[in-house]
Structure 1
């Protein structure tokens, strides 16, 4: 317990240091980071409209527009300092070939919350309070595909109701922003806007890395503190500390003070940092984003293969060895490279990145990905998107040894292939502002078989699906705290 408390004491030291460091920075605003409302969970933040949302009429490219119906209510509440947030994501996913068992599943994710502008409510300039709950129904796809790391979008190990955020945020002059409380892993680390255009594995954290780090999946929240600093010339710096509570993704609960809030459930702390450069269409004809970051996780976790004596526990027996600490780095880049016309925000954007494990005994050694996203592929459909990406995931030698030993003991022929890879292609059909229907296709090579009974005959997955998504503020014309909507 003392060790855990010391991690959060370090955060208390970090925050004033960050604030002091920002005292001399330029007033240059970091474009794309101006939303001072809930900015944590990527599941609640839209990838971003190619152009401004219309408040009336039905412009070319949409089939209907619901914004006029919610705008009066949203404006009335915003005048009082109250901003409603929410989102629904409904997915039908079918494994048509390969895998462990073909068939279909349905998954439904619903999120609702409120942002409170404490400046309007209590006279605290730059202060805001955030509350979000979500509900997840359906089943994860792992038991059919055999892939734990190429997961469907709103991933958790079981359905349930969860607290997604309960935090206080304080902004200091647009240069420093600090948020603390029950906070989900979010848009501050190891992610880019374009990742959430995809249905599988990419939104928030590239495949698998939400589970090699100690903190929980992004549809729940643990005790955390985050500091964000805007630096001159579109640069920024982010740092944070998250209590390790991986079990939060495995249980369904209301998330109120109780067992899951107890400090005796904390198993360490994950400390991520990131520095980057980002522009938008407001200040750059070809927007770009580049970032590098890393993390250190102090927590304990089960070794992939060894027992307490350092032997292969599948053949020698004994309890699993408990490993301590792990770290990794990530690099990512996003760049608009072509615009069919400069009068709109229609653009072709390329992106790439990688995650590399630098210490510890995680199941994954490294992963690399790249892809493209085309906003407005046709002049008559300026709000549609075409998205394509591919990723290669390399499993660790320890985990490979674990699977090969299991196959040998089960007298199954063949060896485990530790090089998992997948591609995804989807097309986003803009139905209305903030509302998208997205048919999608995915193909997986060499599913990782983590958390499943390994077999030697699993070589691929062919997946087709369709996802429906709507964001409450954007669809119903309600403003977001800090702008947008």
Structure 2
């Protein structure tokens, strides 16, 4: 079954709006909306929200926005500002509390993205960018079903089985450090640099994840995700049809999430690899304007995140470090390796314990074999000048991304986050000037 949300988008939004109004009407009548000490802008719905949570039903209603302006440099040097946002409507149901179904949990989430992305304006359009300055603008601007799954814990929680419509990065290569606007920092990095095989959220796909929870905070998990490019199409935001799949992505991950020392400093260590049964062009076989061989894809990743110290014994405050590395195969991947390093300080000031400072850098490297193919294409087209409109710019070496932000915890339900980004050699095209980007993000929980 497939619901065509192109024709029913208005109906979908109307249903959500009426449902939302019904749920929050008690808050407008009896609770305290806009209370800075409440986790939600609309309060506790007159006590109903807490009552429902006690019964096992929790709601997520969030709004996120990211704006960015080109202050200097880039392919188009004029100051240009773009704004992107998303709404997230979700519900988590503890089936053990609600139905006495031991160890079971259900999650349903809708996501709607809209707006414009600044990234194309700082990159040569003939080559495109590598990073994304406003990560929230990726994966298309339309309403879609992002999560629709059930997770079952078995054998005294040693085994977890999750089945349904899943997003890969909710379980694999998941980061807990930083609130960066540029998606070159943060979680889900394998999907950013292999996004023709590994589909991060809000794209969902049919799949399953099987996780073993081992002693000493160690776990091992494997996933199987059906790869269907129809999930990218605007008309398929609510696609349930399992037909026309191209193959499967199989990620495997070994993780360790300790709490170290007297202050129980949180660590997040993940070592993973993936295999995709979907075939794509082999750069080594490019000749006479075509690929002569198709190959499966594979790669691996490493994540190491650790809180280094706590502030006055409070482990909700303190300095954390994050390092990530991704490797993709040379035959089919345009981007063959990536590294990032970030430092995040939560609660840097006693007077502002909820604020956060983050600084990060990332390197994105272009596969030399991809570059060789571009040279061959230019030679076949008999063009050699960068200024020729038909020339394919060479993406050589690496693009570097840097970001500094300060997150203001204005209330428990509102975050405001100004930032500065620097992108050196955008798109890894040496003819494009480095860019300086100013940004402002906000997160609101309703």
TM bin (shorter chain): 0.7 to 0.9
- Find the partner of 1:355 among 326, 332, 336: 326
Q: Matches of 1:254 and 1:282 in 2, distance apart?
A: 46
Counterpart in the other structure of 2:24? none
The answer to whether residue 100 in structure 2 is matched with residue 118 in structure 1 is no
Q: Matches of 1:248 and 1:321 in 2, distance apart?
A: 28
- Find the partner of 1:374 among 333, 345, 362: 345
TM-score scaled by length of structure 1: 0.74
Counterpart in the other structure of 2:36? 64
Q: Matches of 1:143 and 1:213 in 2, distance apart?
A: 19
Q: Matches of 1:247 and 1:98 in 2, distance apart?
A: 36
C-alpha displacement of 1:195: 4.5
Counterpart in the other structure of 1:392? 363
Q: 1:462 to 1:295 in 2, by over 3 A?
A: same
The worse-fitting range, judged by mean Cα deviation, of 104-113 and 62-71 is 62-71
C-alpha displacement of 1:205: 1.9
Alignment of 1:23-422 (within 5 A): 64-67=36-39, 69-70=43-44, 72-101=47-76, 102=78, 103-146=80-123, 148-151=129-132, 152-172=134-154, 173-206=156-189, 209=192, 211-212=194-195, 214-251=197-234, 253-257=236-240, 261-264=241-244, 266-280=245-259, 284-303=263-282, 305=283, 310-312=285-287, 316-318=288-290, 320-321=291-292, 323-343=294-314, 345-358=316-329, 360-405=331-376, 409-413=382-386, 416-422=395-401
C-alpha displacement of 1:438: 0.6
Indicate conservation of the 8 Å contact 1:214/1:246, yes or no: no
Q: Matches of 2:235 and 2:75 in 1, distance apart?
A: 26
Q: 1:157 to 1:401 in 2, by over 3 A?
A: farther
Q: 1:236 to 1:84 in 2, by over 3 A?
A: same
Counterpart in the other structure of 2:441? 467
Q: 1:230 to 1:424 in 2, by over 3 A?
A: same
Q: Matches of 1:283 and 1:442 in 2, distance apart?
A: 36
The worse-fitting range, judged by mean Cα deviation, of 171-180 and 64-73 is 64-73
Stretches of structure 2 that go unaligned for 5 or more consecutive residues are 1-30, 387-392
Q: Matches of 2:277 and 2:183 in 1, distance apart?
A: 28
Q: Matches of 2:445 and 2:271 in 1, distance apart?
A: 30
Q: Matches of 1:466 and 1:243 in 2, distance apart?
A: 36
Map Cα deviations across residues 97-144 of structure 1 (whole Å, 9 max, x no partner): 222334111101111021222223333111122111111101233321
Indicate conservation of the 8 Å contact 1:165/1:221, yes or no: yes
Q: Matches of 2:57 and 2:224 in 1, distance apart?
A: 28
Q: 1:437 to 1:97 in 2, by over 3 A?
A: same
Give the SS at the match of 1:345: strand
The total of aligned residue pairs comes to 396
Q: 1:286 to 1:115 in 2, by over 3 A?
A: closer
Q: Let me know the Cα RMSD of the aligned residues.
A: 2.8
C-alpha displacement of 1:187: 3.2
Give the SS at the match of 2:400: strand
Map Cα deviations across residues 35-76 of structure 1 (whole Å, 9 max, x no partner): xxxxxxxxxxxxxxxxxxxxx99xxxx992234821622212
Identify the structure with the greater strand proportion.
2
Map Cα deviations across residues 260-291 of structure 1 (whole Å, 9 max, x no partner): x2321x11111111112112489753322222
What stretches of structure 1 move > 6 A for 4+ residues in a row? none
